[in-house]
C-alpha cells in the first residue's frame, strides 16, 4: 500500500448510493477500459474533482451494461469524505452533474451503511427493452429502440413470455462468452406492452446472464413475426442450446431501469439528497 493509500484509508468516509441515468450511445458501456471512454470513467473523473487529492473514490454499479445500453435508474456506490458529505450533500448531485459530460447525470443520492454493496446486495434487477414496430424506421428513436419493420403480434409474444417466468436454466439465452458458473436464474416479472408503434418488454429477475435480456427479446420477436409458435420458448429452455434460439437483439434498445435492495430501490432514491 502506497503512502497516499495509507493516508486515504485513515480519513473518515461515508458510503453513498447514487442513482444515475445515461445515454449508452455516447459511451462504451459502464466498466472502465484502457482504450475507450465509459460511464464509470466519467463518474470517477467527476467525483475526483469534487473530492480532491485526499480521496479518489471508485464506483461499483448494480449491473455492468454493454456499449450502447442505456440506464434510467442505475445504482452505484462509492466511499467519499465524510466531512465533505456532511458539509455539502448537494455537491454530490449538483457538483457531480456540473463536472459530468453530456449523456450522464446523477439524479439521487443516499447515505448508506459502510458495508452496503451496489452489486452484491442487489436482490432484483429490472430492464426494459424498446422496439419501434413500424414499416418505416424512426429518425428520433434510431439510437434508442430496435426497429422491427414486420408487424409484431404482441398477444403471441405475451403468451410466449409466460414460459420464461420463474426459475429456469437459461443456457439457451446466454452469450457464448458468458462466464457465470450457473445458468439458473429466476424471472419474477415479464410484461410486454404496446403504445402506438412502441413495444416495451419489461423484465425483472434476481440476476441476468450475459446478453440474456437481449437474447430473450430476440426470440420473443421471432414469435411476434410468426416464425415460431409461443411454445417454442418452452422448447428452447429444455434444449439448453444457444444455437437454437433467435438472434441477439441490438444493444441500443435496452435500458437498465431499477436495482432493488432489502430496504429501498434505485427508483426510491431518485430525486433525493440525504
Residues with catalytic function: 66
271, 106 Cβ separation under 8 angstroms: no
The Cα–Cα gap between 199 and 111 comes to: 36
Phi, psi of 126 (to 5 degrees): -130, 135
Residue 249's Cβ-count burial label (10 Å; 0-12, 13-18, 19+) is: buried
Q: Which three cell numbers stand for residue 72?
A: 434510467
**Residue 79 DSSP SS3:** strand
HSE of 173 in the Cβ direction (CA atoms, 13 Å)?
A: 25
Of 202, 191, 180, 188, residue with least CA distance to 254: 202
Amino acid at each position: 500500500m502506497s503512502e497516499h493509500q495509507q493516508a486515504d484509508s485513515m480519513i473518515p468516509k461515508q458510503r453513498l448510493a447514487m442513482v444515475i441515468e445515461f445515454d449508452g450511445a455516447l459511451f462504451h458501456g459502464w466498466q472502465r477500459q484502457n482504450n475507450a471512454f465509459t460511464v464509470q470513467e466519467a463518474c470517477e473523473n467527476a467525483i475526483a474533482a469534487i473530492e480532491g487529492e485526499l480521496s479518489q473514490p471508485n464506483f461499483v454499479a448494480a449491473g455492468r451494461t454493454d456499449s450502447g445500453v442505456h440506464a434510467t435508474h442505475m445504482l452505484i456506490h462509492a466511499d467519499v469524505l465524510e466531512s465533505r458529505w456532511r458539509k455539502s450533500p448537494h455537491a454530490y448531485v449538483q457538483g457531480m452533474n456540473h463536472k459530468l459530460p453530456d449523456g450522464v447525470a446523477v439524479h439521487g443520492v443516499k447515505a448508506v451503511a459502510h458495508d452496503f454493496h451496489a452489486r452484491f446486495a442487489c436482490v432484483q434487477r429490472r430492464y426494459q427493452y424498446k422496439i419501434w414496430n413500424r414499416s418505416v424506421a424512426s429518425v428520433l428513436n434510431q439510437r434508442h429502440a430496435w426497429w422491427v419493420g414486420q408487424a409484431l403480434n404482441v398477444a403471441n409474444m405475451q403468451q410466449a413470455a409466460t414460459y420464461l417466468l420463474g426459475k429456469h436454466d437459461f443456457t439457451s439465452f446466454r452469450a457464448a462468452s458468458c462466464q457465470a458458473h450457473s445458468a439458473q436464474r429466476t424471472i419474477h416479472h415479464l410484461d410486454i406492452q404496446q403504445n402506438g408503434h412502441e413495444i416495451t418488454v419489461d423484465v425483472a429477475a434476481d440476476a441476468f446472464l450475459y446478453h440474456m435480456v437481449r437474447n430473450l427479446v430476440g426470440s420473443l420477436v421471432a414469435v411476434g413475426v410468426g416464425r415460431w409458435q409461443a411454445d417454442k420458448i418452452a422448447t428452447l429452455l429444455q434444449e439448453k442450446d444457444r444455437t437454437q434460439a433467435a438472434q441477439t437483439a441490438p444493444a441500443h434498445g435496452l435500458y437498465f431501469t431499477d436495482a432493488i435492495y432489502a430496504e429501498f430501490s434505485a427508483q426510491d432514491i431518485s430525486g433525493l439528497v440525504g
